[in-house]
Amino acid sequence: MSSPTPPSAPIAGVPADMAPSGAPVDPATPAFAPAEAPRASWWRVAGYLAAQAARAVGRAARVVRPVGWLAIVGAIALWILGPLYGWRELTTGAIVLTVIVLACACFLLGSTRYEVELDLTRDRVVVGEFAQGGLILANTTSRAIPSSRVVLPVGDGRGVFLVRRLAAGERVTELFRIPTQRRGVLPVGPVSIMRGDPLGLFERVEQRDEPTELFVHPRSVVFEGQTLGFVRDLEGLPTTDLARDDISFHALTEYQPGDDLRHVHWRSTARTGTLMMRTYEQTRRSHFVIAVSHAEHEYRSDEEFETAVSIAASLGRRGLRDAFDVDLRTQGRSMRAGSERQLLDSLSDFERDRVRAGIDELGAYIGANIPSASFVALVTGRGATATDLKAAAARLPVGVRTLVCVADEGADPQLRRIADADVVTLGSLDQLPVALLRALA
């Protein structure tokens, strides 16, 4: 009599009655592994579809304007209330509103793939002038592009162009003029292509091209006059000041204690029996420093500050045209002034600020950091007191010629002397040439 077959050992995680009889089972293999794999795959597919649907809804939501949302919500509400209460009027309204929404959405169909080029005739103008340019749009596709609106942002405003339908390969140029009423740096662009419906329910915006900058320079005046100041330079101009060491020979003088023996003129010494030294005329080149204060408490109005900036621009242009070394400074920083373009660009976005340091601290900054300055022009507003101006002039390098320009909107020109500085009060920029002739005479 055969012995009975022992029952199979139960498999972990599987009920004993579900284990197949007489078949070996690998305990390391999960019993439901073939069923779990499809379930995980379906979850990944569902997550991917949900993400794509969310992106599509997000893109669609961006083209709906507030009026469009009201129309959509109103249509949904009418579809619910009409059948719910059996009101045919509400159902009819739902049908009409739905047709309107769908008809307006059809205006978004079609391509707006223009090639856009923004061309500014001049990217630097003087405040008050017009900046002119053109917007070139080309249809490089094989299909016609329906009419659309092109928006060109300029600073805080924008210009809107109605572009007609463009056939395949067609180009069109839209000309524009930008008025400049105040100094600054205006971002122009990026160009946006807008498609929408007549009712304003939907609007699709696509940006093209990169923005560019329009520099609006301050006003300035050209004036004639004498050289403003000098510093020592090997390639400079000779003056009547004498020096013991330079390159422009002037005369022979007797030896003085401390003179450099390398400049002894031995032939004259042998003839006279006295040690004779060569003396030279100093050669100098102007090191012109323009220090304009941007402390808000020193100006009573925006117009007064604009006058001060225009004064600084006029002085800087004159210095650069005379081939002087020009430094443009304000509280705590130096601005680029290597050329007229850099100087005017730096002053284009120069604004007032609520800083405690005034013109007196600006004078101390120049005295500590630019000891080689030969001529310093301090520019400030009517809010700076005589004590502030005196303190600023006293802290400048010794021997420097100082001119203080005070912008006082609407005032009569006035010339006075404070410490070692000539102080010119100007009510407008046009008074600057005559006032400088008087101050530097």
The CB density around residue 410, as the number of other CB atoms within 10 Å, is 10
Phi, psi of 275 (to 5 degrees): -70, 115
The CB density around residue 81, as the number of other CB atoms within 10 Å, is 15
pLDDT at 274: 87
**Residue in the structure block whose two tokens are 């020592």:** 232
The CB density around residue 350, as the number of other CB atoms within 10 Å, is 21
pLDDT at 281: 52
Contacts of 113 (CB under 8 A, 6+ apart): 139, 140, 141, 145
CA atoms within 13 A on the CB side of 263: 21
pLDDT at 258: 67
CB 136 within 8 A of CB 183: no
List per-block mean pLDDT (blocks of 10 residues) for the chain, which spans 441 residues.
45 42 47 50 77 73 85 92 88 92 84 81 93 90 84 86 88 91 91 83 78 93 63 42 45 77 83 82 68 94 95 92 88 89 94 90 89 90 92 88 92 89 93 85 66
Query: Across-strand partners of 65?
Result: none
Query: Is 287-439 CATH 3.40.50.410?
Result: yes
pLDDT at 227: 52
Query: Across-strand partners of 177?
Result: 132
DSSP 8-class letter at 393: H
Q: Please tell me whether residue 76 adopts helix, strand or coil conformation.
A: helix
Contacts of 254 (CB under 8 A, 6+ apart): 274, 275, 276, 277
**Residue in the structure block whose two tokens are 């597919």:** 45
pTM above 0.85, yes or no: no
How far is 330 from 296, CA to CA, in rounded Å? 13
How far is 344 from 217, CA to CA, in rounded Å? 6
104: left (phi over 0), alpha (psi -120 to 50) or beta: alpha
CB 244 within 8 A of CB 196: no
Phi, psi of 89 (to 5 degrees): -60, -45
What is the topology classification, in CATH, of domain 114-217?
Answer: Immunoglobulin-like (2.60.40)
How far is 386 from 64, CA to CA, in rounded Å? 62
pLDDT at 290: 94
Beta strands across the sheet bearing 421-426: 333-335, 325-330, 287-292, 375-381, 401-407, 421-426, 414-418
